[in-house]
Amino acid sequence: MPRPRSLTPTTLATAALAAIDRDGLAGLTMRTVAKEVGMSTMGLYRYVTDRAELEQLVVDLVLSQVDTAPPDPSAPWTDRATAMVRRLRGAVGTHPLVIPLIVAHRHRSERLLGWSETLVGILKEAGLDGSRRVVALRCLLAYVIGALQFDHLGPLAGPGTSVIADLPEFPLMAETAREARGVDAEAEFDDGLAAILRGMEYGRGPRTAD
């Protein structure tokens, strides 16, 4: 008779996420996760087949915090799109080291697909159709992912900005870096997102021939 399965997917995902938060993606190994849950490495193979399956469990756990319900339908479409993007940022931003795994496993995440479905519905209601809607969704996903990585690896108030601010051979970049010191992460994200949505608003009209 086989031994009962005592570990749940959530338990394994939580252990794997703890390893990533502590040691980075390099810390996500079968051995490390087995140690986190108090069993042998070989014992862990009773629950998952390989690291890829652990990665998927981690992605599912992080994205489980994303609210996929449609925002208030009476709000302007830009406000609703903003709300959806902020939801994704809020969930993923607490575990920025997981971002590469989300990119790699995004097509297999039901929660991310649900989030995308809601956002695409908003874009459709806004009049974005065909390839415009495809590009709009891709653009908003790319913005969230890129903004989170920049905020984690090279925030505006970080040491890189201070170095650039003191480079006389690049006067415009130095001036820009000095201005960047006064921009916090929330303002940076919100203003960037607003600029993207304004561009989408402008581009909703009929295409014109070149």
Is position 97 within any domain? yes
Domain encompassing residue 38 = 9-63
Crossing angle for the helix pair 130-153 and 77-92, nearest 10 degrees? 40
pLDDT digits (tens, 9 = 90+) for 146-164: 999 988 887 776 777 888 9
CATH code of 34's domain: 1.10.10.60
102 with 174, same domain? yes
128 with 95, same domain? yes
DSSP state of 184: -
15 with 106, same domain? no
100 with 172, same domain? yes
41 with 99, same domain? no
21 with 104, same domain? no
Domain count, the chain: 2
The Cβ of residue 165 has, within 10 Å, a number of other Cβ atoms equal to 17
pLDDT digits (tens, 9 = 90+) for 59-76: 999 999 999 999 999 999
Cα(177)–Cα(160) distance, rounded to whole angstroms?
9
Is position 145 within any domain? yes
DSSP state of 69: S
42 with 87, same domain? no
Cα(190)–Cα(186) distance, rounded to whole angstroms?
6
Is position 163 within any domain? yes
CATH code of 105's domain: 1.10.357.10
pLDDT digits (tens, 9 = 90+) for 35-62: 999 999 999 999 999 999 999 999 999 9
Residue 4 is predicted with a pLDDT of: 40
Is position 92 within any domain? yes
144 with 98, same domain? yes
pLDDT digits (tens, 9 = 90+) for 97-111: 999 999 999 999 999
Q: Which of 104, 106, 103 shows the shortest CA–CA distance to 114?
A: 106
Is position 186 within any domain? yes
